[in-house]
Structure 1
Amino acid sequence: MSKEFGRAASGVVTKAELDQRIAARRKPRAELHLTPNGWEATEVKRQIDKDSERRIRHIDERLKAARENFQTGHARALQRGRAKQDFDRGR
């Protein structure tokens, strides 16, 4: 017997074996998240929290400024209205 015959005899390929091997392949599992692992995950979460806190402070400052502008504008409008009433009464 030659070496080629021995390889050919042990290496018989069939459609059934092909289908079996294809079915036995490990399939990659789809993950619903793209979160890195290890120290990178901690760093990413820290950065996200930091950005979120900075945005919260920004929004809070803007709302406080808007509230103060509203209150001062409202108070000035009341004073102008009273002044106009007083002026109209004096005529």
Structure 2
Amino acid sequence: MTKDFSRAASGVVTKAERDQRIAARPKPRAELHLTPQGWETNEVRRQIDQESESRIRHIDERLKAARENFENGHARALLRGRAKGDFERGR
């Protein structure tokens, strides 16, 4: 297990982690290397990429929900303040 795996299970999401994972996405390049080939290597790489993409989607959903909660809470606070001011002026 790597540190990334234990951190991913913590439930805390950040924009920095999202950006880091997007930057770490594999970029196709033509090069010569001595990496073993075969179905096992491809399967492991596919699973790792799939887990990373899943985590990115999870982070996007959590950040979107947090942004919506913040915006809704801010709008409600403004309305509450306006209603209180109107009530005080009406007395």
TM-score grouping bracket, smaller chain normalisation: 0.5 to 0.7
C-alpha root-mean-square deviation of aligned residues, in Å? 1.4
Question: Which range moved further: 35-44 or 77-86?
Answer: 35-44
- Structure-1 residue corresponding to 2:44: 44
- Structure-2 residue corresponding to 1:78: 78
- Gap runs ≥5 in structure 1: 1-34
Of structures 1 and 2, the one scoring higher in RCO (CA 8 A, sep 6+) is 2
Shift of 1:88: 1.1
How far, CA to CA, are the matches of 1:45 and 1:72 in structure 2? 41
TM-score if structure 2 supplies the norm length?
A: 0.58
Identical pairs, percent? 79
How far, CA to CA, are the matches of 1:36 and 1:54 in structure 2? 26
Shift of 1:89: 1.2
Aligned length: 57
* Secondary structure at 1:72 match in 2: helix
Structure 1 moving runs of 4+ over 3 Å: none
TM-score if structure 1 supplies the norm length?
A: 0.58
